[in-house]
Structure formats: structure tokens, C-alpha cells
């Protein structure tokens, strides 16, 4: 409770049965309303904070159901394409919203972070205490496939593993980055993740076998919101304890207590991030 999460994606379905949501904004030219015609954004949003909902496969619920989540549409056109300018505008809208956490299940080709507008804005806002949780990308299994802005040093970059089992997903992008950074930082479940999607959206139609307004899909886009919800829980716990939790603190916790503590890898990072791991550090 009391933690604000901004989801920069394809928008949201305000009629979704795992709501309610706080609305949001659109920075997409020609699409002033943040309606989700793709379904990706709603799936991400409900993974973070979706209210409990019964399905034929059991109850689904988001990781942090009491978080205050708002959707900022930075991708559109049905297929979910976007521009850097729209994404940067979305980050500015997230700042105006007062976001504690910005969740970005998106990315493009890697670039030199030293000259990247993404890095400049993410670095500055991270120093101010915001957490940027960003997908590694789905261009694995080869090395040097981390996308941007996930390649930014100040991002908490998320790869995908299967669950149960914990095997790295073949599609999950691997480091090192163009600038030689070891990425991703952490991994989370990202294979066949069942969540709700937008009404009559592209993904809803493509995954109709999962049921109306439901979809079981895979990607680092699916593991990223899991980590965003987890960090929302940890941030609330830290505030209750009268402490501050920054991106550097989260990375230090993983380096101390992660599966690959002190030995970060270019596939798993420090390994699976969990609430007990962060609670132990806090």
C-alpha cells in the first residue's frame, strides 16, 4: 500500500476484471486515450497488481495487489510499436504521477549508454530514488543481445526463467552489453505466465484458447512486472522499517544473497530475485 507503480506499455483496459486502476496517459501520436488495443500492457499491469480472479486453472492474482498502478501508453498501433520520444514522454508523465517504480517491458537495439537519452533520464531519476525495472529482451540465447534501455547501468534489468525449474528461457537476452556491462541483473518467472488481457485485443484474439480476456504468454516482458510487484512489496516493507530502498540497495542485496552471490552472470545475473532475499537485506 502507498507505493505508486507506473507501467509504460501499450495502455490498459479500464474495464478489466482484475482492476481497478488509476488510469494514466498516452504519449502516442494520434492515440490520446491510453486504451490497450494490443493486450500486452494489461497483461503486464495485472501481473503487478491484478486483483484475485478465478480461472479454469485456478485463481490468478498480481504480486502486489494493493499497489497504486497507472498505465502510460507509449506503445500502440495495434502491434505495440513505439518511439523513443513517446517513451521519454511517458517517463516524464510517470514523474508527474509521483511513481516510486517505473516498469518497462519494452526495448530496442542496444546502444552506447554514454550517449543515450534513456541513460541520462534514468540515471538522474534513479539518483532521486525512483526504481526502473526493465526487461532484458527476447533475443537470446546468444550473448550481446541485451536491449536498450535495459542496458542502462542504473536499470534493474530482468531476464526470464521457467517456473518451476528455474531454467533460463532460451529467448531471454544475455550480456554483456555494448559497453561491456554484465546483464541482466536478476531473473524471474517469464514462461507461460497467465494473466488477464484487454477485451478483443490482439493478444486476446491470438490466445483465445486461454479463455476470453486471459492469456498465457512468455517473455522478459512477463518476468519484469513480477519483479516490479516484488520491489513494490519490498519498498513498502522498507518504509515501515523507516529505511530507504534504492536500486543500488536491491543490487547489493542480490550480490550478497542471490543464487550467484558475488559471481554475477550474463545469463542469470545474480539469479532469481525473491522477497525473502530483499527482506533479509532490509
Exposure letters 73-97 (e unless 16+ CB within 10 A, then b): bbbbeeebebeeebbbbbbebbeeb
Give the three cell numbers for residue 150: 535495459
Residue 9 designated active-site: yes
Residue 255 designated active-site: no
Residue 103 designated active-site: no
Which candidate in 9, 13, 36, 267 is catalytic?
Answer: 9
Task: Find all residues with CB under 8 Å of 192, minimum gap 6, and list them.
Answer: 216, 217, 218
Which candidate in 49, 221, 223, 228 is catalytic?
Answer: 221
Find cell 502516442 and name the residue.
28
Going by their DSSP bridges, the two strands 58-60 and 53-55 should be labelled as antiparallel
Which candidate in 26, 36, 40, 201 is catalytic?
Answer: 40
Q: Which helix (H) or strand (E) covers residue 60, if one does?
A: strand 58-60
How far lies 252's CA from each of 35, 102, 184, 257, 273, in Å?
38, 20, 14, 9, 12
Q: What is the DSSP string of 99-139?
A: -SEEEE---BS---GGG-HHHHHHHHHHHTT-EEEEE--S-
Q: Do 155 and 175 contact (CB within 8 A), yes or no?
A: no
Residues annotated as catalytic (active site), given as ranges: 9, 40, 221
Amino acid at each position: 500500500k502507498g507505493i505508486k507503480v507506473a507501467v509504460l506499455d501499450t495502455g490498459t483496459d479500464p474495464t478489466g476484471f482484475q482492476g481497478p486502476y488509476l488510469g494514466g496517459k498516452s504519449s502516442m501520436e494520434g492515440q490520446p486515450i491510453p486504451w490497450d488495443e494490443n493486450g500486452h500492457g494489461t497483461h503486464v499491469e495485472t501481473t503487478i497488481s491484478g486483483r484475485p480472479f478465478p480461472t479454469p486453472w485456478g485463481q490468478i492474482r498480481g504480486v502486489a495487489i494493493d499497489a497504486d498502478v497507472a498505465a502510460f501508453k507509449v506503445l500502440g498501433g495495434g502491434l505495440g510499436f513505439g518511439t523513443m520520444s513517446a517513451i521519454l514522454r511517458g517517463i516524464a508523465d510517470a514523474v508527474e504521477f509521483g511513481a516510486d517504480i517505473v516498469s518497462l517491458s519494452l526495448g530496442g537495439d542496444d546502444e552506447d549508454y554514454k550517449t543515450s537519452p534513456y541513460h541520462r533520464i534514468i540515471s538522474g531519476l534513479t539518483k532521486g530514488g525512483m526504481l526502473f525495472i526493465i526487461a532484458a529482451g527476447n533475443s537470446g540465447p546468444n550473448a550481446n543481445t541485451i536491449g536498450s534501455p535495459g542496458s542502462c547501468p542504473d536499470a534493474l534489468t530482468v531476464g526470464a526463467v521457467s517456473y518451476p525449474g528455474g531454467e533460463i528461457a532460451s529467448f531471454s537476452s544475455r550480456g554483456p552489453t555494448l559497453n561491456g556491462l554484465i546483464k541482466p541483473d536478476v531473473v524471474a518467472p517469464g514462461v507461460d505466465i497467465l494473466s488477464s488481457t484487454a477485451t478483443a485485443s490482439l493478444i486476446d484474439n491470438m490466445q483465445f484458447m486461454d479463455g476470453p480476456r486471459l492469456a498465457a504468454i512468455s517473455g522478459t516482458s512477463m518476468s519484469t512486472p513480477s519483479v516490479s510487484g516484488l520491489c513494490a512489496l519490498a519498498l513498502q516493507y522498507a518504509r515501515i522499517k523507516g529505511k530507504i530502498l534504492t536500486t543500488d540497495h536491491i543490487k547489493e542485496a542480490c550480490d550478497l544473497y542471490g543464487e550467484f552471490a558475488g559471481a554475477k552472470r550474463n545469463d542469470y545475473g545474480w539469479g532469481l530475485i525473491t522477497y525473502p532475499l530483499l527482506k533479509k537485506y532490509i
